[in-house]
Amino acid sequence: MSATIRPYKIIIFSAVRPAARSSKDGPPRQRRRPLTSSAAVTIEEGGVSAIECWRAWELIKLTLPVMFGYLPIGMAFGFLMVHNGGAWWMAPFASVVLYAGAAQFASIALLAAGQSPIAVMLAITLINLRHVFYGFSVIDRMPTALAAKLYLIFSLTDETYSLITSIDKDTAQRDGWRLALLNQLYWIFGSFVGAMLGVGITFEAKGLEFTLTAMFCVLALSQYRAIGSVIPAVIGFLSLMLALVFVPNGALFTAIGMSAACLVSYCFYRLKSSPASARTLNPAGKDQS
């Protein structure tokens, strides 16, 4: 299905033309007016800005579930960044340029453990490896404008990906990048508020550093729920134990690398031993032969 050409395509928060609007003026004059930009329409007709607001609200409503997740978790991120020695602006900055939930929390822990930028980057690559597959299922939902497309690709987090794939294709093509932008704004705002809270709490509260442990615990549980297997958890735990014994100074990065190597062997073995069960993991249902 190709994108339907609509006259209001370039209007910011483009609204469906409501029937009520044409009743005000004569319909022929209304039809001939070129709908080229939201600014022009807003100046000519007072009623349109209200319609744009309604359209914006429709989009915000779609992102509300993400907002309820992103605001508190973003706050936790901002707070932890400050609590682990970061300046107030660091959390919002990370949310602008990195914008990947679990990876951002991991980067705090890795930076606080004194890992080098390259080591952190490699660890983040492994954590975000799953993003390599998100693009395939949204290729036909991408906007045509290059800037909008690039932004939507940049901001394709787990939650935005779920949102884009759950709405109809036309809305995704037209408003997908706006939904993505709203989501990132919630995240940045949450990080900022959390960082401010972190700066505000100046007293030495023992036990507060546990929020990072709790965050990783919650993230691990949600990952477990998504894949339904404890094997990666066991591999991770054993890797860390070995790494702490043999490479105490670079334990964190060594453990992540060891886990990756073990999981590669595990997945490879599983694929070889029973290709049929591996095929069911593919949601597209394509024959792997």
| Positions 54 through 113 that interact with another protein (CB under 8 A) | 69, 72-73, 76, 85-87, 90, 93-94, 97-100, 102-103, 105-107, 109, 111-113
Q: What is the closest distance, in whole angstroms, from the C-beta atom of residue 234 to another protein in the complex?
A: 8
Q: What is the closest distance, in whole angstroms, from the C-beta atom of residue 26 to another protein in the complex?
A: 47
**CA–CA gap between residue 177 and residue 156 (Å, rounded):** 10
Among 40, 60, 88, 134, binds another protein (CB under 8 A): 134
**CA–CA gap between residue 52 and residue 42 (Å, rounded):** 9
Among 135, 144, 145, 165, binds another protein (CB under 8 A): 135
Q: What is the closest distance, in whole angstroms, from the C-beta atom of residue 136 to another protein in the complex?
A: 5
CA angle 67, 100, 96 (to 5 degrees): 80
Q: What is the closest distance, in whole angstroms, from the C-beta atom of residue 102 to another protein in the complex?
A: 6
**CA–CA gap between residue 2 and residue 140 (Å, rounded):** 9
Residue 224 as a binder of another protein (CB under 8 A): the answer is yes
Other C-beta atoms closer than 10 Å to the C-beta of 41 total: 20
Residue 274 as a binder of another protein (CB under 8 A): the answer is no
Q: What is the closest distance, in whole angstroms, from the C-beta atom of residue 16 to another protein in the complex?
A: 30
Q: How many residues make contact with another protein (CB under 8 A)?
A: 97
Among 78, 77, 95, 69, CA closest to 188: 95
Burial state string for 98-122 with b = 16 or more CB within 10 A and e = fewer than 16: ebbbbbbbbbbbbbbeebeeebbeb
254-273 residues near another protein, rule: CB under 8 A: 255-256, 259-260, 263-264, 266-268, 270-271
